[in-house]
Amino acid sequence: MCWRASRKIEPSGQAREFLFVVKTIHTVEWMKQAARQARAEGKLVGLVPTMGALHAGHLSLVRAAQAQCDPVVVSVFVNPKQFGPAEDFEKYPRPLEADRALLERENVACLFAPPPLEMYPNGFRTYVNVEGLSERLEGRSRPGHFRGVTTVVLKLLEITQPHLAYFGRKDAQQARIVRQMARDLNLDSEIVVCPIVREPDGLALSSRNVYLKPDERRAATVLSHALDRARQEIAAGERDAVRLAALVRKRIDAEPLATADYVEIVDAETFESVTRLRRACLAVLAVFVGSTRLIDNMLIEEAEGLGETFRCTL
């Protein structure tokens, strides 16, 4: 299979660039065959799994993948198994043509966009679950969410057989759980975690930001501003994680349109709450702004060689 054709030889013998077209694949069988062939040709396959409605956050993963892999497969699949019954599965944005155009501009080789029945045919019964990690934080607020995530990610890894698969720290718990699954199940794919892309005012990019009304969009900056408040306190010497979490929550409570679901400082490996900052932690939060649920986090790492100094990355 030809993954990419960007030049055409005219009858005159002259080479002419022609518009790059992203290969769009809708069936599992075809995707498996294409991936097998790329591997057989000795190519380094990259996968960027998404639910579509692509934004600059997704594109940062695509670019990280393009820098290391060829071909890069971007999957666009709104996974019904990771939505609770009262969640936004039906209204989740699905602008597939716009997504395809964005991927074309990025020179992505392959868009994998299977319909739900292709991924979950009638009679589907098998799930994968990462115990413990999947029950905390997002898992506690959204029962069954991570079981749906790990099941679809394992299927996507099986179908596309990537050497590297790219995830965003925006969904830090998800990335940690996927990494655990890859380790526990001896998967061949390396899991790469990329930084959070934010709007200029600090709001982390998310496909769900389109739900925000103008006043909610303004209020939504409270997530990153609250985390930044914690960053300032840490820079001033605060090491008490309980006090830091309380400070973040207070900042969120001060925003009338925002309601905190959870605010915690957790160990970056176990996702258990900590009482004092240690080697690598995350300040994680989930906040309803109006009826839209947003998540964000800040990485807090001990700066090497500097004793008890911590570096915060929003």
CB contact set of 169 (below 8 Å; sequence gap of 6+): 175, 193, 194, 195, 196, 297, 299
Select from 205, 260, 263, 295 the one that contacts ligand AMP (CB under 6 A).
205
Tokens of 302: 């001990």
Q: With contact defined as beta carbons under 8 Å apart, do 184 and 192 qualify?
A: no
61 binds ligand AMP (CB under 6 A): yes
Q: How far is the CB of 206 from ligand AMP (least distance, A)?
A: 5
Select from 161, 207, 292, 297 the one that contacts ligand AMP (CB under 6 A).
207
Select from 60, 150, 209, 221 the one that contacts ligand AMP (CB under 6 A).
60
Nearest CA among 68, 53, 284 for reference residue 172: 284
62 binds ligand AMP (CB under 6 A): no
134 binds ligand AMP (CB under 6 A): no
240 beta partners = 276
58 is catalytic: yes
274 binds ligand AMP (CB under 6 A): no
Q: For 282, how many CA atoms within 13 A lie in the half-sphere containing its CB?
A: 20
145 binds ligand AMP (CB under 6 A): no
Site mask, ligand AMP, residues 156-175, x = CB under 6 A?
Answer: -----------xx-xx----
Site residue total, ligand AMP (CB under 6 A):
17
Residue 177 or 241 having the CB closest to ligand AMP: 177
Name the amino acid, one letter, at 143. P
Report how far apart, in Å, the C-alpha atoms of 207 and of each of 53, 223, 284 are. Answer: 6, 16, 19
Residue 60 or 180 having the CB closest to ligand AMP: 60
Q: Which stretch binds ligand AMP (CB under 6 A): 87-95, 199-207, 223-231, 244-252?
A: 199-207
Nearest CA among 201, 195, 206 for reference residue 298: 195
Name the amino acid, one letter, at 222. V
Site mask, ligand AMP, residues 16-55, x = CB under 6 A?
Answer: ----------------------------------xx----
Tokens of 150: 């790990």
204 binds ligand AMP (CB under 6 A): yes
Q: With contact defined as beta carbons under 8 Å apart, do 41 and 48 qualify?
A: no
Residue nearest to ligand AMP (CB): 168
Q: How far is the CB of 99 from ligand AMP (least distance, A)?
A: 10
Of the listed 58, 145, 163, 225, which one is catalytic? Answer: 58
Residue 58 or 277 having the CB closest to ligand AMP: 58
Report how far apart, in Å, the C-alpha atoms of 240 and of each of 237, 244, 246, 256, 307 are. Answer: 9, 6, 10, 27, 16
206 binds ligand AMP (CB under 6 A): yes
Q: How far is the CB of 94 from ligand AMP (least distance, A)?
A: 11
CA 228-292-136 angle, 5° bins? 70
Report how far apart, in Å, the C-alpha atoms of 133 and of each of 186, 204, 259, 276 are. Answer: 18, 23, 24, 20
**Interface positions with ligand AMP (CB under 6 A):** 50-51, 57-58, 60-61, 167-168, 170-171, 194, 196-197, 204-207
Report the catalytic residues: 58
